[in-house]
Structure 1
Amino acid sequence: MSEIIPPRPIPPPWVSNVVEDRFGLSVILRVGNAQQLFRWIRPGHFLMGTQADESERGSAELQHEVTLSNGYWLADTACTQAFWLAVWPVNPSHFQDHPQNPVENVSWHDAQGFIAELNRRFPGLYARLPSEAEWEYACRATTTTPFSFGNQVTVEQVNFHGHYPCIGGDKGIYRQRTVPVASLPANPWGLYEMHGNVWEWCADWYGEYPAAPQFDPSGPIIGKMRVLRGGTWSDPARYARSANRSRIEPAYRPRSSGFRVALGQIRSPVGIHNRIC
């Protein structure tokens, strides 16, 4: 497949700072005393899901081609408790000892309420949850291995239940809690803790993957459960794989569920819109 060469993105008007480093272009959004860095994720193609011979793959990970025709900004970390409290008045998290811990124990609806308030405060922000395809594309960051770090991960790279590594991996510590965001190594695109720490809500309803190539997929039109990605601090390493999928009802607050904000309008068959619900 030919590579999509996008134009250089124009920083949005709401940014407080523009940064360019070895990972590429990023912008910073400040809310009160809190801030969130967003990295530019350029358009591209990738193989979503897993091959049949990938170790510990799930049954709903049918590999298929995906094209994302539009770039988007993606938070380099899960939403922190500091950023959450700058927008929303109540902290639902269990681990509240550090403001840079990810906010957790939030439902899909809770995340949407937070995002709606962000959009109210910053017209033209187009904050939203990433689609499941956008999430996996960013998590993989051009890699094709089970993790963006390779075929195995250690507890020095990912916050998972260290007593349960992937097959052939070494056991490590079990922290029994979240860690502050950006305290573990970033993936090749400068995104932190895409593997482990907290589950991250995606915009999509959960559904089986199609076998045919997909163009800007956004999941089923209707459903009963929303997608969660990334695994968590209390899960075995296999749940932190780039392609691993979980799902739960959008009103439910599972243990250590968090989210990562995306910015930018998305394309649909009827035009450009901001899907926030």
Structure 2
Amino acid sequence: MRNISGTPLTIIWDLCAFVDSTGRSQGVKISDTPFSDIGKPVQSTLVISRAFISEVIVPLDSIIYDEEWIVNNSIPKEARQILTIELTTEQQGRQTTYIFTFESVMAIRGVLVEGGTFTMGDTWEEGDSNEKPIHKVTFAYDFYIDKYETTFQEYDAFCEDTGRSKPYDTAWGRGARPVIDVSWNGATAYCNWLSEKENLPKAYDSNGNLLDKDGMITTDPSKVVGYRLPTEAEWEYAARGGNKSKGYKYSGSDNAGDVAWYDSNSGKRTQEVGKKEPNELGIYDMGGNVWEWCSDWYGVYSSLAQTNPYNSTIGSYRVWRGGSCANDVTFLRVAIRRNGSPSSKSYYLGFRIARTVFEFTL
């Protein structure tokens, strides 16, 4: 969230306003320990990275009250909407109301994936050779990944706005089904279009390189502000459930039928997104339905531990992840990986988008 109240806020106490998924107040409590920066002014732009997940951290120019604080208004469900938080106290019959205004910077559909460390690759020792060697991966940043695969409805809007031809749906239907018949180049063009729509720096240049907030080429995804495809490591970490992982073979379960559309239950056709159960993070369809493009060039794994990995070494193919509705259950494992030319398209290949949690002032 971005503070657009016009004046800096001053932190006096660490106050936490807990808000449920609908944006309704669940009450607020004051911590027992003073904030470490007590009395220091906060810059007029303040980013609250988890505002769309479970809480809003609100610094107040106030004193400690024994009564409960009340939070009104709901969290915006789309980027660039305005949220006004009203905090009201009553003490000895006297009410005081504090009003702070914030602007949302990430749509509600993005699921927060907190940084951490995991073992990437064939941890069950039953996968393909390209899933080895297993290796440690650490994320020193948080990122958002879409709860759902990008749909025809969303991609068609991009095509209409840019004058592109709409991808073929194989007569299976459009709307809330995952978009198919889209190349890596088409998927990254969609990401750049979405970034421009929200006045964010583009994530890709014309050659497919990642760009930082200043438009300079970078190989560190933590420095990319705009919407982008997840890196291969981000994709697998999110599919495994991030730091909430229960170690499932498929994304969200050891029973593929609970969480995935594949050849045994889909009729070998895509299905509307979000109809199966989500994984531990609340992300849907990370196994089956459609393969998903990732940002990386395809390459062989190293056994060395890595931090914020992204394969920028130019090759012939970009990474696919997740399996599809036409594959059998062995292709639904969270470690499975395939690849294709950046210009290639398939009836069983789509994508979902991601974005780094980035404290950025426009």
Q: Does 1:72 align with 2:110?
A: no
Q: Deviations over 1:132-173 (max 9, x none)?
A: 00000000012433213344422x4310111xxxxxxxxxx3
Q: Deviations over 1:76-132 (max 9, x none)?
A: 000011111222224313255341111111100010111111112112261000000
Deviation at 1:259, TM superposition (A): 0.5
Q: Does 1:228 align with 2:303?
A: no
- Equivalent residue number for residue 177 of structure 1: 269
Q: Does 1:199 align with 2:291?
A: yes
Answer yes or no: is the 8 Å Cα contact 2:251–2:259 preserved in 1.
no
Q: Distance in 2 between matches of 1:183 and 1:86?
A: 23
Q: Distance in 1 between matches of 2:144 and 2:336?
A: 22
- Equivalent residue number for residue 48 of structure 1: 120
Q: Deviations over 1:11-55 (max 9, x none)?
A: 59xxxx94549xxxx984469xxx87111111110000013x533
Q: Distance in 2 between matches of 1:203 and 1:27?
A: 29
Q: Mind listing any 5+ residue stretches in structure 2 that lack a counterpart?
A: 1-46, 56-74, 81-106, 201-224
Q: Distance in 2 between matches of 1:236 and 1:71?
A: 32
| CA separation of 1:78 and 1:174: change in aligned 2, threshold 3 A | closer
Greater Cα radius of gyration, structure 1 or 2: 2
| CA separation of 1:42 and 1:95: change in aligned 2, threshold 3 A | farther
- Equivalent residue number for residue 58 of structure 1: 128
Q: Mind listing any 5+ residue stretches in structure 1 that lack a counterpart?
A: 1-8, 163-172, 267-271, 273-277
Answer yes or no: is the 8 Å Cα contact 2:252–2:278 preserved in 1.
no
Backbone CA RMSD of aligned residues: 2.7
Answer yes or no: is the 8 Å Cα contact 2:152–2:176 preserved in 1.
yes
Q: Distance in 2 between matches of 1:187 and 1:95?
A: 29
Q: Distance in 2 between matches of 1:136 and 1:109?
A: 21
Answer yes or no: is the 8 Å Cα contact 2:142–2:357 preserved in 1.
no
Q: Does 1:147 align with 2:222?
A: no
| Aligned residue type for 1:88 | C
From 228, 234, 237, the equivalent of 1:134 is 234
Larger relative contact order, structure 1 or 2 (CA cutoff 8 Å, min sep 6): 1
Q: Distance in 2 between matches of 1:103 and 1:37?
A: 17
Q: Distance in 1 between matches of 2:147 and 2:252?
A: 16
- Equivalent residue number for residue 112 of structure 1: 188
Q: TM-score, normalised by structure 1?
A: 0.77
Q: Distance in 2 between matches of 1:116 and 1:137?
A: 24
| CA separation of 1:71 and 1:161: change in aligned 2, threshold 3 A | same
Deviation at 1:203, TM superposition (A): 0.2
- Equivalent residue number for residue 170 of structure 2: 94
- Equivalent residue number for residue 48 of structure 2: 10
Q: Deviations over 1:169-201 (max 9, x none)?
A: xxxx34221110111100010000001000100
Q: Does 1:157 align with 2:270?
A: no
SS for the counterpart of 2:131 is: coil
| CA separation of 1:174 and 1:79: change in aligned 2, threshold 3 A | closer
| Aligned residue type for 1:216 | N
Q: Distance in 2 between matches of 1:205 and 1:68?
A: 19
Answer yes or no: is the 8 Å Cα contact 2:144–2:354 preserved in 1.
yes
| Aligned residue type for 1:80 | T
Answer yes or no: is the 8 Å Cα contact 2:172–2:269 preserved in 1.
no
| CA separation of 1:70 and 1:186: change in aligned 2, threshold 3 A | same
From 198, 207, 213, the equivalent of 1:122 is 198
| CA separation of 1:97 and 1:250: change in aligned 2, threshold 3 A | same
Q: Distance in 2 between matches of 1:83 and 1:19?
A: 23
Aligned length: 236
What aligned pairs does 1:233-244 form with structure 2 within 5 A after superposition?
233-244=325-336
Identity of aligned residues (%): 29
Q: Distance in 2 between matches of 1:108 and 1:84?
A: 13
| CA separation of 1:126 and 1:153: change in aligned 2, threshold 3 A | same
